[in-house]
Amino acid sequence: MGLTGDTHFIALPILFIALFIFGQSFGPGAQGMTMATLSYPTELRGLGSGWGQGTTRIGSILGFYLFPVVLSIGGIYTTFLVLTIVPVIGLIATILIKWEPIGTDVEKEEEQEFESDKSFSKKSEVYH
């Protein structure tokens, strides 16, 4: 059975695949665009969600292309190291950003930023 030899029962890989599909269907895979939708004001929501879908699909295409390339160049251990580093980078970015859109009114945030930009431009006009 692949890299582990013939000692493992066939149900183990099937169980892992089933758990992966379950996790993607009910976990981050299904909820991925919810965060993108909550993160944008109403007038930019379609553009932001489309940008999120586009980057997801580009990543998927690059993954399908680069996986065999990295596997042939570096071997199985290097490939799994690369596959481990990419989600760790995402985890670090998530920990550093710490932005939670649930309960946040993105429309008010945009108005506050617009007002602060207007007040900044008025202050800069006074100094000129």
**What tens digit of pLDDT does each residue of 28-78 get?**
666 667 776 777 788 888 888 888 888 888 988 998 898 899 899 988 888
Q: How many CB atoms lie within 10 A of CB 56?
A: 14
Q: What value does the mean pLDDT take over residues 93-99? A: 82
Angle between the N-to-C axes of helices 45-97 and 28-38, in degrees from 0 to 180, rounded to the nearest 10? 110
pTM, whole model, 2 decimals? 0.50
pLDDT of residue 58: 92
Q: How confident is the model at residue 20 (pLDDT cuts 50, 70, 90)?
A: confident
Please say whether the beta carbons of 127 and 58 come within 8 A.
no
d(CA 50, CA 58) in angstroms, rounded, equals 12
Which tokens in the block code for residue 17?
């695949």
The enclosing H or E element of 53 equals helix 45-97
Write out pLDDT tens, residues 102-126: 777 767 766 666 666 566 555 555 5
pLDDT of residue 73: 92
| DSSP conformational letter for 8 | S
pLDDT of residue 1: 45
pLDDT of residue 94: 81
pLDDT of residue 123: 53
d(CA 35, CA 28) in angstroms, rounded, equals 10
Dihedral (CA of 52, 48, 105, 96) sign: positive
> 3-state DSSP call for residue 80?
helix
Write out pLDDT tens, residues 62-74: 988 988 998 999 8
pLDDT of residue 72: 93
Please say whether the beta carbons of 73 and 61 come within 8 A.
no
